[in-house]
Amino acid sequence: MSAPAGEPRPSSYDDTPLEMAPDAAGKSRFVLLPDETLAHGLKRVLIGEIVTSRDALADPTIAPEEAIHRVRRRLKRARSIFYVLAEVPGANQENRAALARDTARLLSGARDADVAAIEARRILARAEGRDVAAAGLLVERLEIERVEAHRALPPLAEVASRLRASEADARSLPERFEAGRLLAEALLGSYRRGRRDWRELGDGFTVETLHDWRKRVKQRRHLSALVPLETAVTTPAVQRDLEDLGEILGEEHDLSILEHRLTTEERLLRPREGRTGIVEFVAHRRRKLAKKALELGEELFGSRTSVFGSALDELRELC
């Protein structure tokens, strides 16, 4: 989910892996601890993401909605690392990535309501003429829905239990494995699928392809941040562009869900209340976002897969 124009990102949340070496603050790439192997570094970050997720849920100084947001984002990053380590032996090898995914889904209810309310406020901020009143009604109704969603507490005890299981999975990983090769192959695989999605979208938009592309963009962004050396395809500029593209695709995805709800749930906005104008507004906004995403995608996914892969040759030698 991306923040609306003029609305700050969640306070104190940084998308950079927090379990970096202490001297990595402000650096443009992942920094290993002294004498640390990449294998140990990836395992350290993975464990850190999971432990910090559990700590956020238990911290009384963090608002529940902010804690849920942090946990969901950290678990997405943990899933990206589990994707890298798919062939590395350890506990629950076949299902550890799925466990992280399903744990995050337990927290999706209130977060989905937050997203819908944010998108409605975006629409209101951009609406003109007769659409203003309709957008105002939509904001009012989705805000009520958001408040009600937060009253229904998520199964935090079950989430905490699953986080402990994921931590055990991560700690069971060996200390040595071909980390550089695995990270390079995961990055290449993420790029290959992302490039395929981008090229397919050039022939016409589908919700499924846009959604898959969004996942590949985020995954590539997460993995690029874990490369401990300079490469032409994981530079800070590339990572910023991937972040921007993820935000664009995130808004498009959120709007697609809202558009579907508007056309299937009359209680949100009735025809006589101006539903048609809002649906057309949303559809127009989605087309603009998709066009912008394709243009940025050409910069990030326009190179041949072999060219991208060759840029990771040095990374493959790390262990």
pLDDT by position in tens, the chain (length 319):
333 333 333 322 234 443 433 333 344 568 899 999 999 999 999 999 999 999 999 999 998 878 888 999 999 999 999 999 999 999 999 999 999 999 999 998 888 899 999 999 999 999 999 999 999 999 999 999 999 988 887 888 999 999 999 999 999 999 999 999 999 999 999 999 999 999 999 888 888 999 999 999 999 999 999 999 999 999 999 999 999 999 999 999 999 999 999 999 999 999 999 999 999 999 999 999 999 999 999 999 999 999 999 999 999 999 8
Q: How far is Cα of residue 288 from the mean position of the Cα atoms in its chain?
A: 21
Say which residues have a Cβ less than 8 Å from residue 29's Cβ, sequence separation at least 6. 225, 227, 228, 229, 230, 234, 236
pTM: 0.88
Per-position b or e across 86-103, b if 16+ CB within 10 A of its CB: eebebebbeebbebbeeb
Tokens (6 digits) for 238 = 């590339």
